[in-house]
Amino acid sequence: MARTKRKKISEVRLLPNVFSREDGDSEILLREYFANNNSISLEIGCGHGDYTIELAQIYPHRNFVGIDFKGARIYYGAKRVLDLKLPNSAFLLTGAEWLIGIFKKEKIEEIFIPFPDPHYKRKSIPKRLVSPEFLNIYKSVLRNDGRVHLKTDNTDFYRFALKTIEENDWNIIYTSLSLYNENPPEFLHNIKTKYEMHYLKEGRKIKYICFGLE
Ligand SMILES: C[S@@+](CC[C@H](N)C(=O)[O-])C[C@H]1O[C@@H](n2cnc3c(N)ncnc32)[C@H](O)[C@@H]1O
């Protein structure tokens, strides 16, 4: 592993807006950090945190938490948030597998899953961030009127997600196989991460699913 990456992985834990399970009860630590009672929304698999940061800028009266198990990626987003002095954005260095144990009381307003890894191999299906196991985790932490937003460039992943979401008794609120060739729904934010910009440049169509419990 390169030295700079190793350095980021150890330094990320020292940043004041990055929490992990080793630090104690993340739910309490996040509330103390935000120092308000505003709602919390999550970006799962946030990478460099582009989505989390833009959402926090659009909605200053809501809190946004980026979640990823890769410290070197979170490092970029967390540093940017500190430079921008954004008080309503923080990061959790953990896998989404642990969300139920983390958010024991808190109910999450929205969950954003932009461009998750497709995990093509059959044996990797449980790792897909819309596998039945992950959908059950989201069900436990999401508010009844909460929404989940999924974006992907991958048609097979989109089909898998749609089928799994329907089979697991969620309501599909909006879905598109080519988001920018239609009139996008009014609740869609015009946020494009580096991944999305790259895929659009390659001429790929962006697929989107918004789903919820109600
Ligand atoms: C393709 S990147 C997308 C990053 C970001 N959402 C974007 O659009 O720029 C997928 C990210 O998901 C993270 N990831 C994959 N599985 C995860 C899991 N179970 N829990 C947390 N993060 C996960 C990876 O570490 C990676 O950073």
Rg of the chain over CA atoms, in angstroms? 17
Does residue 25 line the site of ligand 1, with CB under 6 A? no
What's the confidence (pLDDT) of residue 35?
97
Please give the pLDDT value at position 3.
83
Which residue is catalytic, options 117, 145, 153, 156?
A: 117
Residue 117: active-site member: yes
**Rounded mean pLDDT, 142-154:** 97
First-to-last CA distance in the chain?
A: 45
For the segment 86-113, the average pLDDT, to the nearest whole number, is 97
Q: Is 68 in the pocket of ligand 1 (CB under 6 A)?
A: yes
Q: What is the pLDDT of residue 9?
A: 86
Q: Which domains are delineated in the chain?
A: 3-212 (3.40.50.150)
List Cα–Cα distances, 66 to 21, 38, 41, 143, in angstroms: 14, 16, 9, 18
What mean pLDDT is reported for the chain? Answer: 95
Average pLDDT rounded to a whole number, residues 40-62: 97
Pocket test of ligand 1: the residue of 129, 130, 206 to mutate, having most ligand atoms within 8 Å of its CB, is: 129
Closest CA to 110 of 39, 41, 44: 41
